[in-house]
Structure formats: C-alpha cells, structure tokens
Amino acid sequence: MADTKVYRASTTAPVNIAVVKYWGKRDAKLNLPTNSSLSVTLSQADLRTLTTASCSTAFQEDVLLLNGEPSDLGGARTQACLRELRDRRAALESKDASLPKLAAMRLLLVSENNFPTAAGLASSAAGFAALVRAIADLYELPSSPTELSLIARQGSGSACRSLFGGYVAWQMGSQADGLDSQAVEVAPASHWPEMRALILVASAAKKGVSSTSGMQQTVATSGLFQQRIADVVPRNMKSMEDAVAARDFAAFAEVTMRDSNSFHATCADTYPPIFYMNDISRAAVRAVEAINAAAGKTVAAYTFDAGPNAVVYYLEENKDLILGAFYPLLEKLDGWKDGAKGLKSNVQFDEAVSSTITSGVSRVIMTGVGEGPQKTDVYLVSEDGKPVSTSA
C-alpha cells in the first residue's frame, strides 16, 4: 500500500507592533508598500500563534484550522504563499531523488493563538508568519528569515516583520517584482531587552474599516499622504534606526508617537475619513503625556494600529512610573502580572482622562520585546494526521 506517513513541523510566531507604520500599498497583488516600516517583536510568552504544518498522501485537500475553526485557504494571497513554498520544495526534490515528495501532498495546517482574537490585536501578522515558517520547516527549506519574509509579505504585509525577533525593518524596496521588499533585523531583542509594552485593550465595537481597504482609500484620497510617504516616513525610519542602535528611549519614544500621530492623521484625511482612535485612545495619549510630564523626561510612548487599542512602550527601569500610573485605574481587569500591584507613581491624571480610561479599557496585556519564530515539538496534528488542540 502507499506510504501514508504524516510529515509534521510546528512553530510559534510572534505579534509585532510597528513604531513606524505600514499604511499604503503600491502594488496590492504583491503586497508592496508605499513606505518602509519598523516594528518591535513582542514576547511569545504573552502573544503568539502556534502552527503545525503537516502533509500526507492520505490527505485529500489543503485544510487550515484556525482556533478550531475551518478557515479559507482559497484566498489569492494564501495561495501565493503555498505556491511559492511548494515550488521551493519541488526544486529541492528535483535535485535530490531521495527526498520524499512532500510538494505534491495536500497540507493540513492547524493554528492556535494564545490570545483572544477579539482583543483586536494584529493576529494576521503572527498567523501568516507561523504558517510560512511551519511549512518551510516541514519542507526543510534552507531559506533565511529574510527570504521567507518575501513569501509571508504576500500573505499579510506586516507578517514579514514577524519572522524576526527584536527590532525589525520592512524595507519597502523599489523593484516591480518586489524581490527587494523584505524584512531585515535592525537589532536582536538582546540588544535592547529592557523594552516593555503595556497594551490597553479598548472595549470597542468591531473595526469600521478593514486595514486592507482603508489603506488603499488613504492612498487614493488623502491630500496629505504623499508628504507622509515621501518625507515623514523616510525621516522617521532613519531616526528610529539611530534610536534603536543607541538605545535612546527618548528618541525612540518621540518618533513612535509622532509616526502614530502621522499615520492616524492620514486616516482622518482620507475621504470619507477613517477613524481608528476613539475617546479612549485619546485619553491614553493624554495619560502618557501626563506620565512623561510627571517624570520630567520621556519614559513612555503611545502608538495605535488600525484600532483603538493603545500600546504603551516603556523601559523596565521605569515600570513603576507607567504601571504605577495605570494599575490604580484598571486593577480589576485581567492581564496584570505579579509586580504591577503596589508600584508607585506620582502622576495625577485629569478626572476626564482617568474616568475615560477606567470605563473604556476592557483588559490589559503586559509584555515586552521578544524573539522570532521558534520551532517546537508541540503539535496540533497527531502522528496519524488528526487535528488536536492544546487548549482542549
């Protein structure tokens, strides 16, 4: 009878939160951006996707299970990723007849997040990074993370940055084929391991506008967008790379806040306008400004993606100033870790800021800079090819 062995590989991949934002495509099919971006990879102890890629002659079709639910693999972007990975495996197989013919087998892909999707965190980046990394491991591709970033980018732009840990740049590139639009490591997590992030999850309704359609509306209609991509972002990229190299938090923080402001400004300048930040987000901005004012120096930086959640970056040495300011307002919420309670801060928020944050934030996530994708022997597919759940 035929070989029905089930080949498996498992990996985890991290979430990344940009400090210089990706917003706008110059090529929607290849996911080529209008500008470079830079992000901090967050710790997988707090936020990660675990994906097992498996294949077998016994499988009848490609299947993806996401958090236990069947998920569509038919999308052009996902198909582009699978095609590229299979092509690379097929090339290896054609050079070495002894290799099992995995490229021709159907795939069973099972993926789970360790964080609520409802939190509105960019899970697609971690998801596509884990998908590409797991299949690349299954196929034993010699590809480097930067080479794989070219594939992951086609699935979800920001996913290319989740193939690295630490501080990661997505170089926009200039080629029409996108072969130079890739992620590179600016610095490993070990270069600046003290970076922390407190995420304030705003209890917001579902996102009004998807980022995919939103960013193209901005490209098409914002009168201010050209200055962002031609002038503002290139300056921010340079300043941010310098700040990370020098471990200069004040510089890191100012660029982070300015770039988030610039990104949301171009969203508000879109026609019709796109609003991702709400009054809760704006209260978080004022809170961070109050924390820095009370500290007499810049110890915290806010940034907002395509949603109302605030991500507040700070350094471990200043945790009392940041956690000590927010904990008293939000002590009832899930997500605090040991050590957050009892920290002292001298900041006094305006009553409007305090009440908006207390009533509007639904959970917190305490995390920090972390590593890139990790191979693991925790499998979401059994040896006989059945999906299994770690959370079950």
Residue numbers of the site for a copy of itself (CB under 8 A)? 205, 222-224, 226-228, 231-232, 235, 254, 257-258, 261-262, 264-266, 268-273, 275, 278-279, 282, 285, 289, 352
- H or E stretch covering 135: helix 123-138
Give the list of residues 6+ apart from residue 210 with CB closer than 8 angstroms, or none.
Answer: none
Other beta carbons within 10 Å of 286: 16
Q: Does residue 387 contact residue 110 with C-beta atoms inside 8 Å?
A: yes
Query: Measured from the CB atom, is 355 or 382 closer to a copy of itself?
Result: 355
d(CA 119, CA 27): 29
Query: Measured from the CB atom, is 90 or 268 closer to a copy of itself?
Result: 268
Q: Does residue 302 contact residue 312 with C-beta atoms inside 8 Å?
A: yes
Query: Measured from the CB atom, is 75 or 273 closer to a copy of itself?
Result: 273
d(CA 251, CA 106): 49
- Smallest gap from Cβ 169 to a copy of itself, in A, equals 20
- Smallest gap from Cβ 339 to a copy of itself, in A, equals 30
Task: Return the closest-CA partner of residue 82 out of 56, 110, 103.
Answer: 103
Query: Measured from the CB atom, is 134 or 284 closer to a copy of itself?
Result: 284
Q: Does residue 109 contact residue 52 with C-beta atoms inside 8 Å?
A: yes
Query: Measured from the CB atom, is 93 or 289 closer to a copy of itself?
Result: 289
Residues written for the chain:
392
> Which residues pair with residue 20 across a beta bridge?
38
- Smallest gap from Cβ 209 to a copy of itself, in A, equals 12
Find tokens 């930040």 and name the residue.
Answer: 277
- Smallest gap from Cβ 322 to a copy of itself, in A, equals 17
- Smallest gap from Cβ 184 to a copy of itself, in A, equals 25
Query: Measured from the CB atom, is 40 or 301 closer to a copy of itself?
Result: 301
- Smallest gap from Cβ 330 to a copy of itself, in A, equals 20
d(CA 160, CA 164): 8
d(CA 150, CA 168): 14
Q: Does residue 73 contact residue 81 with C-beta atoms inside 8 Å?
A: no
Query: Measured from the CB atom, is 122 or 277 closer to a copy of itself?
Result: 277
d(CA 267, CA 273): 6
Other beta carbons within 10 Å of 45: 12
- Smallest gap from Cβ 361 to a copy of itself, in A, equals 15
Query: Measured from the CB atom, is 16 or 262 closer to a copy of itself?
Result: 262
> Which residues pair with residue 71 across a beta bridge?
64
- Smallest gap from Cβ 232 to a copy of itself, in A, equals 4
